[in-house]
Structure 1
């Protein structure tokens, strides 16, 4: 992603932390990023385009964090517990991630609706941002499938049927999401996941 585009998204995210999206002005975002307003419009097309790109970047960052958590400890249950911890912490630290995972978009946040017509953006990243975002259910499936792929691939003795492993992975994901809405006492989502899963989740 070009440096100007990344700087503009950083500036938009920081502006959103201070005021509702409706009060964020394009001229202020451009000034904070140290670029011209024309550069901002060249990259995103409009404020709606900037909103879609910002939400898309946060979605990608969330999924990259999932991948890092899954690449952690060798024990499958510990990997799923680490993934659940990441999901919960990401949702509590980032209002956009929380809205994407729960489907609860407040008035302070940019609307995640895709472009009304097929994107004509010249930047490939913006064409992707203009497309539809995953729904909360899609995010469950994306994280579950990533976990299955990593854990199944790490087990050379795993048989072809992955149904049991997929159930364990989905259980961990849904437990983490429930903790986003109603955090457990002491923030112990990892302990909940470990207690709910078999000692060695596998296919």
Structure 2
């Protein structure tokens, strides 16, 4: 039931915007999504399962945005997207920084036993990404998108360092905000300084 699953995740995200996760009730999420409470439990198994699926969905959306930014431009756009996504979405911010507030669900990052018949839930029940995992994922995606397959090893290593530098600068701007567009400028200046 992919449509019901997305409706339930949307309803849970909306509920989370209105109240702390501890105050989000499964019956209310099901009602807003227009499905039965049994459907919700069939999809997610528990409130923890719903939280894990919600975090997984938001993390996947963030990484899809990284891919779009890489297609549109370069590391400066990836950095801008990172800051923008973290400002707009408290779950993305928490996942990127590891700073989970009491308002948010704080699902365990390690895998939990899953007996779900729903493939998407089995994936959500797997290990959730930690901040270091995001750094590595963004670095590796950036390297794959920007790298030259025949480049010498030293050039590939330098590009990998540049990719990691860009994502780490972006994460620092999530925690210590800069003006709009400022992180892209910082990344461009830092990368320019490395080559001069």
Deviation at 1:199, TM superposition (A): 8.0
Deviation at 1:11, TM superposition (A): 0.3
Deviation at 1:158, TM superposition (A): 2.5
Deviation at 1:116, TM superposition (A): 7.3
* Aligned positions of 1:46-57 closer than 5 A: 46-57=46-57
The answer to whether residue 151 in structure 2 is matched with residue 158 in structure 1 is yes
Question: Hey, what's the Cα distance between the residues in 2 that align with 1:116 and 1:190?
Answer: 35
Instruction: Summarize the Cα distance change of 1:115–1:45 in structure 2 as closer, same or farther, 3 Å threshold.
Output: farther
Aligned length, in residue pairs? 194
Question: Hey, what's the Cα distance between the residues in 1 that align with 2:96 and 2:109?
Answer: 17
Deviation at 1:112, TM superposition (A): 1.8
Question: Hey, what's the Cα distance between the residues in 2 that align with 1:150 and 1:115?
Answer: 29
Question: Hey, what's the Cα distance between the residues in 1 that align with 2:111 and 2:129?
Answer: 17
The partner residue of 2:128 within 128, 133, 150 is 133
Question: Hey, what's the Cα distance between the residues in 2 that align with 1:83 and 1:116?
Answer: 28
Partner residue in 1 for 2:140: 145
SS of the aligned residue for 2:94 comes to helix
| TM-score when normalising by structure 1 | 0.90
Partner residue in 2 for 1:194: 188
SS of the aligned residue for 1:198 comes to helix
Question: Hey, what's the Cα distance between the residues in 2 that align with 1:139 and 1:123?
Answer: 25
Instruction: Summarize the Cα distance change of 1:197–1:181 in structure 2 as closer, same or farther, 3 Å threshold.
Output: same
Deviation at 1:117, TM superposition (A): 4.7
Q: CA offsets, 1:159-180, max 9 Å, x none?
A: 2441100011111010000000
Question: Hey, what's the Cα distance between the residues in 1 that align with 2:42 and 2:109?
Answer: 18
CA contact (8 A) 2:11 2:33 kept: yes
The answer for unaligned runs of 5 or more in structure 1 is 74-78
Partner residue in 2 for 1:30: 30
SS of the aligned residue for 2:116 comes to coil
Q: Quick check: which one's helix share is greater?
A: 2
Partner residue in 1 for 2:15: 15
| TM-score when normalising by structure 2 | 0.93
Instruction: Judge which range, 168-177 or 192-201, deviates more.
Output: 192-201
Partner residue in 2 for 1:177: 171
Indicate the RMSD between aligned Cα atoms, in angstroms: 1.9
The answer for unaligned runs of 5 or more in structure 2 is none
Deviation at 1:2, TM superposition (A): 0.7
